Amino acid sequence: QLQLQESGPGLVKPSETLSLTCTVSGGSISGSNHYWGWIRQSPGKGLEWIGSMDYSGISYHNPSLKSRVTISVDTSKNQFSLRLSSVTAADTAVYYCARGRQIRDPWNVFDIWGQGTTATVSS
Amino acid sequence: EIVLTQSPATLSLSPGERATLSCRASQSVSSYLAWYQQKPGQAPRLLIHDASYRATGIPARFSGSGSGTDFTLTISSLEPEDVAVYYCQQRSSWLTFGGGTKVEIK
């Protein structure tokens, strides 16, 4: 049974970079043609798609986040990661990783989710 | 960006009643609309994709309909475990979510 688990520091200072990792178990990222995504949820903005990537490194991200987002994959560890630079209090949220339901399709719904990890931006 | 507007904000019904939730898109999303259920402290759970297809393991009391800009999620007979916030999501142009409808039991 496929499971996803987010990890990362719970507290980040303003202007620094938030780094999160999603570890996939029960299945292989490289053996799959799915896209893997990051979604966040804050009280002020609800659910917001951050970006998605496939095992080869092809990625798409929300244009509203401009160039602050980097998504990468480490197939040897069966993990994918999110880096969000120049964070502000507005980036405080619960961050989820999730699997895109349909293979080879970056524009997807998400059928398997991690439990989420809270990231707080504060000095 | 396609904006999804959900209504009502809160729906309060008795067990066994029919729940009707609405999601309206700012422009046509064809049938590329999904519904999620989120219970407190949990991640969203996919219920419906492509407007009307139930995801794996979803009870038959959940159904979706609509196309273009107007969509509906129906819970045919509300169960106590259906208390949650329900979100719609479109995948026609990038990915965006609606603001949610909270379903409560009277």
Whether the per-residue pLDDT at A44 is higher than 80: the answer is no
pLDDT band at B79 (very low <50, low <70, confident <90, very high): very high
Taking the Cβ of residue B14 and every Cβ of chain A, the question of whether any pair is shorter than 8 Å is answered with: no
Entry field: residues in chain B: 106
Whether the per-residue pLDDT at A97 is higher than 80: the answer is yes
Whether the per-residue pLDDT at A55 is higher than 90: the answer is no
Phi and psi for A12 in degrees, rounded to 5?
A: -130, 140
Secondary structure of residue A91 in the 3-state scheme: helix
The Cα of B32 is separated from the nearest Cα of chain A by a number of Å equal to: 9
**Does B99 sit within 8 Å of A116, measured CB to CB?**
no
**Does A47 sit within 8 Å of B44, measured CB to CB?**
yes
Q: Where are the beta strands (DSSP E) in B1-106?
A: 4-7, 10-13, 19-25, 33-38, 45-49, 53-54, 62-67, 70-75, 84-90, 96-97, 101-105
User: In which residue are the tokens 């979803």 written?
Assistant: B58
The Cα of B95 is separated from the nearest Cα of chain A by a number of Å equal to: 6
Nearest CA in chain B to A114: B43
Mean pLDDT for the stretch of residues A34-43: 94
Residues on chain A touching B92 (C-beta within 8 angstroms): 107
Nearest CA in chain B to A116: B43
